[in-house]
Amino acid sequence: MSIHANELAPPGAAVPEVSGAHGTHDAIIMKPSYDPNLVNEDLAPLRKQTWGTYNIFAFWMSDVHSVGGYVTAGSLFSLGLVSWQVLIALIVGIVIVQVFCNLVAKPSQVSGTPYPVICRASFGVKGANIPAIIRGLIAVAWYGIQTYLASAAFMVVALRFYPELAPYADLKQYGFAGLSALGWASFMFLWVVQALVFWRGMDAIRVFIDWAGPAVYVVMIALAGYLVAKAGLGNVGLTLGEVKYTGWAALPVMLNAIALVVSYFSGPMLNFGDFSRYGSSFAAVKRGNFWGLPVNFLGFSLLTVITASATVPVFGHLITDPVETVSRIDSTFAVVLGAFTFMVATIGINIVANFVSPAFDFSNVAPKRISWRMGGMIAAVGSIFITPWNLYNNPAVIHYTLDILGAFIGPLFGILIADFYLVKKERIVLDDLYTMSPAGSYWYENGYNRAAVTALIPSALVPALCVLVPSLGVLANFTWFIGCALGFVIYLALMRRQPVLAAQPAE
């Protein structure tokens, strides 16, 4: 990996103080030569990178420890496989995620730039808005859904203390746009709480995720211990439901399970550079990925399946929703603690996966007008107008909307990796990421790299067809892999047809 020598200001050079996502300090590099249409204090490369192994580890804990993560992990153990087959699929899937996260982390960590900025190297300084907007729109949809899931946990607490509010939780009596009055109040409360954490900047987000992930583990262990004690150890297993597949018949199901794991992490994996840019070293990021992905996800999944398995003898039927599980416990303290913890956990994943990403993405579109904070608030406001509860409660709508948007994630990943490692040979001319000069390495044609845009179209269209065409439904779970492979191969082929401009700093 090499970065052209022009990426650092001379020792002792004055660096203007700015106030943005990183506070008011000299943590960034802001040169007079940087075009204001491509940079602000939030998109500028970092001078100080302070996140260590634990911070990256905590990031992944916040990403995994949520209601969605709980349900996803539990679903793997209810696919009709025996437990050891599920564990193999889980480990293979999460190791694939770890390897790919290391690949996507490196360009942003060594350059100190967020995902949409590093995309300028492959799509062009203007063309980078294409992947930025796509990723931002996906994050808006998921931001709304995760906020809605967190608000459900808050409603459990509210109704536990104030049962007289029950009529306001009835959609038929007090409802608007598909959500009850209490649901609206809960949703907007969580919406404001998340906005307050986000508004304080990346340092506040780092502090939040540093304690949120471990806190969920404490409550999860306590919940699992409580349910196992009530159920009896002999009544708890690692297989949820009947075993339907044995021998070679289990292999396709295991492959589907692997694909589900990778797909679950595909969004955060694509824009992981938004966080790896803060890593003090690439080695620290890799260590954080190891502890936060294979080790953490395996531990969380085992806790999940043990807890879900114990709900059968304790409550009489399988419960895969952790909020519903804690709501059935007799102790008010346990219900409040459990619901509050899962609420915090879902806020954690929402901020790291669905708030920070569109903040950088939308800011990249118009840096002079849209700051990091404004970009995040655009996503937050947009998440209200899509009425995410209607999206979440309609399987067909959520399937087609999110899966078609998700069809773009794999190709964007494949193009980024192919460009950085094989086309550019891990070389970045940092200053040229911030120049509109036609002499810049990433100007291409009027600021757009036709090869990247051309590669994106078919490599996203094919996965989308796998979602839309019933006869291709067997491939639906593999759309990320299909899109990633097509984007990688097509982009590489197109770039090899055109000479790569010498990586020289623009004047």
Written as one string, the DSSP assignment of 244-290 is ---GGGHHHHHHHHHHHHHHHTHHHHHTTHHHHTTBS-HHHHHHHHH
Q: How far apart are CA 187 and CA 185, in angstroms?
A: 6
Q: Are strands 18-20 and 23-25 parallel, antiparallel or unpaired?
A: antiparallel
Neighbours of 138 (CB within 10 A): 25
Residue 129 has a pLDDT of: 96
Residue 13 has a pLDDT of: 34
Give 448's Cβ-side CA count (13 Å radius).
11
Helices marked H in 355-430: 356-365, 372-385, 388-392, 395-406, 409-417
Torsion 18-21-27-29 (CA) sign: negative
Residue 4 has a pLDDT of: 52
Q: How far apart are CA 78 and CA 376, in angstroms?
A: 36
Q: How far apart are CA 407 and CA 291, in angstroms?
A: 29
Q: Which residue has the tokens 């063309």?
A: 127
- Decide: 268 and 276 in contact? Cβ < 8 Å: no
Question: How would you write 65-105 as a 3-class SS string?
Answer: CCHHHHHHHHHHCCCCCCHHHHHHHHHHHHHHHHHHHHHHH
Residue 500 has a pLDDT of: 52
Fold (CATH) for 2-495? Hydantoin permease (1.10.4160)
Question: In sequence order, what are the beta bridge partners of 46?
Answer: 28
Give how far the C-alpha of residue 190 lies from the chain's centroid of Cα atoms, to the nearest Å. Answer: 19
Residue 52 has a pLDDT of: 95
Residue 507 has a pLDDT of: 38
Question: In sequence order, what are the beta bridge partners of 448?
Answer: 445
Residue 20's H or E segment, with its range, is strand 18-20
- Decide: 298 and 224 in contact? Cβ < 8 Å: no
Helices marked H in 83-201: 83-111, 115-118, 120-123, 129-161, 181-199
Written as one string, the DSSP assignment of 303-342 is HHHHHHHHHHHHHSS----HHHHHHTSS-HHHHHHHHHHH
- Decide: 394 and 469 in contact? Cβ < 8 Å: no
- Decide: 443 and 124 in contact? Cβ < 8 Å: yes
Quote the pTM value: 0.86
Boundaries of every domain in the chain: 2-495
C-alpha to C-alpha distances, 259 to 138, 244, 368, 480, nearest whole angstrom: 19, 19, 40, 8
pLDDT-flagged residues of the chain (< 70)? 1-26, 395-402, 499-507
Give how far the C-alpha of residue 409 lies from the chain's centroid of Cα atoms, to the nearest Å. Answer: 11
Q: Which residue has the tokens 């679950």?
A: 264
Q: How far apart are CA 285 and CA 443, in angstroms?
A: 30
> Model confidence over 105-124: pLDDT tens digits?
999 999 999 999 999 999 99
Written as one string, the DSSP assignment of 202-227 is HHHHHHHHHHHHHHHHHHHHHHHHHH
Best CA proximity match to 266, nearest among 486, 482, 120: 482
Dmax over Cα atoms in the chain, in whole Å?
72
The one-character DSSP state at 200 is T
